[in-house]
Every structure is written in C-alpha cells, then in structure tokens.
Amino acid sequence: MGVPKDGDDTDDVLLDRDAFVLSYNPKLEDPNWVSWRLSAADIGDVERQDDFRIDQDLPGGLYRVTPKDYAKSGFDRGHLCPSKDRSTSPEVNSLTFVMTNMQPQRPELNRHRWKEMEEFTRDLAIGRQKQLYVIAGGIFDANPKTIGHGVAVPKAAYKIIVVLEHGQGAKDVTAATEVIAAIMPNSKSVTSKPWTDYRVSIDEVEAATGYDFLGRVPEDVQRVIEAKRP
Ligand code: MN
Ligand code: MN
C-alpha cells in the first residue's frame, strides 16, 4: 500500500521482516507504525510463544527497548501486529514478540477494545475470506509521559484496515473499496463505549499522526476512501 510518510524521515527507522514491516521511532522508543497483510492462511493454532525480547535488528547506537522498561509501569506490552495474526508456526509467532512491535497500552485498551478490533479483523479474514492490509500505531503528545528508559506512552492507538480479495494489492483499490479506521484513547475510560464507536475516517488518522497512508493508491482514489466516514 506504500510506505507511510510524514514530514520528518529522521525518526523513521524501517525494519522490513517476514512477519510485518515497521517504522521505529528512536525519539519515542516506540513504533511509529507496524503494517502487515492478513488472510485466513496466517491464522493457526500454535501457542503464544510469549518470548518478549529486545529487537536485535535495530541499527547499532539506537536504544533497544527491553521487557524491563515496562515492569511495574501499569502498562501492558500491547502488540501492534497481534500474536494470533501470525500463528501458523512457533517461529513466525515468535517474530511478533520483539519489543519494536509493542506500545504501552492501558490494560483496558489492550485487553478489551483493541483486542475486540483485532478479533473483528480476523473474522473478516476467516469468515469473509478477505485479504487485509493493516497499519497500526500510536498518537503522541508533544511531551509524552514515558516509562522505563524513556518509552513514550501514546495518548491513543490507531488502526487502518483495507479490505481486499486474495491476490489483490494497491492497484486494485478503488473508490468502492471497504476501509475501516479507528482511534482509541489509551485510557481507562476506553471501555465506556464499544470499539465501533471509535471508528473514524483515514483522513482523521492522517491528521492526528502527520502520516500519509496508502501512498501507492492513486491520489484520486485515496481522496475518496480516506474521507469515508463510518
Ligand atoms: Mn494486545
Ligand atoms: Mn493517504
């Protein structure tokens, strides 16, 4: 769908791996975004590996977030690419447990509304046999609260889903393509509404993050699908 771009490339460290692609922000010590493709074939029954660990693929000189940074913080290690979305082998599942795939999430977000949207996404893949392109990340204040070494706590989490058929890509996206986006506050009160009440347009995610998403989709099509309101 194209690499998400904002006005400042200096805080986008790209890591392109088998399980997903991500952009790590060394200033925030968080991912800017994580993006992956999902279809029913990615979802299996392997157990969660739970091997949370430092991401050894980050370039030298950058701080590498460790599971200890989250210890006693009150925040969960919230997966962006979910463990269950990569569950056909222990090896591929383990790839989702690198700390660059995590953001500090309130338990009310991680274990409830965020998880429900993850389950909704897998239902599209399994129940409706769709091929999905998903992008997820955080929205940060100018001077965010931090935990551990300096891991910024996002004020909200966002997700964008593009719903396609098997074998389709950016060139197959049309003005009629189904897209789903949401912004959920990273706060206790997130459970006061169902997850679907947090749906927004992609334009709202672009405004809140400063990123242009779906850059490989023709501009006139982006304009239509990004403005679609739930
Ligand atoms: Mn989670
Ligand atoms: Mn865009």
User: Which among 79, 112, 149, 166 is annotated as catalytic?
Assistant: 79
Answer yes or no: 149 catalytic: no
| Whole-number pLDDT of residue 210 | 97
Q: Count other Cβ atoms within 10 Å, centred on residue 161.
A: 21
Q: How far is CA 201 from the centre of its chain?
A: 16
CA of 136 to the centre of ligand 2 (A): 14
Ligand closest to CA 48: 1
Ligand with smallest separation from the Cα of 52? 1
CB 85 within 8 A of CB 96: yes
Q: Closest ligand to 206 CA? A: 2
Put simply, whether the predicted model's pTM sits higher than 0.85 gets the answer yes
Ligand 1 center–CA 175 separation, angstroms: 31
| Nearest listed ligand to the Cα of residue 1 | 2
As beta bridge partners, residue 136 has: 34, 159
pLDDT value, residue 45: 97
Query: From its phi and psi, is residue 82 left (phi > 0), alpha (psi between -120 and 50) or beta?
Result: beta
Q: What is the token pair recorded at 219? A: 């501009």
Query: 105 C-alpha vs ligand 1 centroid, how far in Å?
Result: 8
pLDDT in the model for residue 61: 92
Is domain 13-227 annotated with CATH 3.40.570.10? yes
75: nearest Cα among 208, 193, 188: 188
Q: Residue 191 to residues 109, 111, 218: CA-CA distances in angstroms?
A: 7, 10, 37
Q: How far apart are CA 106 and CA 88, in angstroms?
A: 28
Q: Which residues of the chain have pLDDT under 50?
A: none
The angle that helices 202-209 and 219-227 make with each other, rounded to 10 degrees, is 100
Distance 21 CA to ligand 2 centre (A): 18
**What spacing in Å lies between the alpha carbon of 113 and ligand 1's midpoint?**
10
From the CA of 168, how far away is ligand 1's center (Å)?
27
pLDDT at residue 18 in the model: 85
